[in-house]
Amino acid sequence: MKWTDSRVIAIELAEAHPDIDPNTVNFVDLMNWVLALPDFNDDPKHCGEKILEAIQLAWIDEAE
């Protein structure tokens, strides 16, 4: 899984953190949680605010 797989990452995060409201997650926590996903294998340096925003929005969509 790479940073650009925002929908897949969002699904994995929703499953890993079912009690978390994705609207309240800060980008530091979000990045750390993505890096901790077992199938994630991309370079942390390739992450930026726009990528984290896309992941968060996808996670919000999954939660609704």
Q: Is the dihedral of CA 19, 55, 30, 44 positive or negative?
A: positive
Dihedral of alpha carbons 20, 25, 28, 33, sign: positive
Q: Where does the pLDDT of residue 28 fall: very low under 50, low under 70, confident under 90, or very high at 90 and above? A: very high
Mean pLDDT calculated for residue range 17-46 = 97
Q: Which domain holds residue 20?
A: 6-63
> Count of domains in the chain?
1
Residue 1 lies in a domain: no
- What is the model's pTM? 0.94
> How much of the chain exceeds pLDDT 90, in percent?
97
Q: What's the average model confidence in pLDDT over 13-17? A: 96
CATH number of the domain to which 49 belongs: 1.10.10.600
State how far the Cα of 18 lies from the Cα of 1, in Å rounded to an integer. Answer: 20
> Which pLDDT value is given to residue 64?
86
- Assign 51 a pLDDT band (cuts: 50, 70, 90): very high
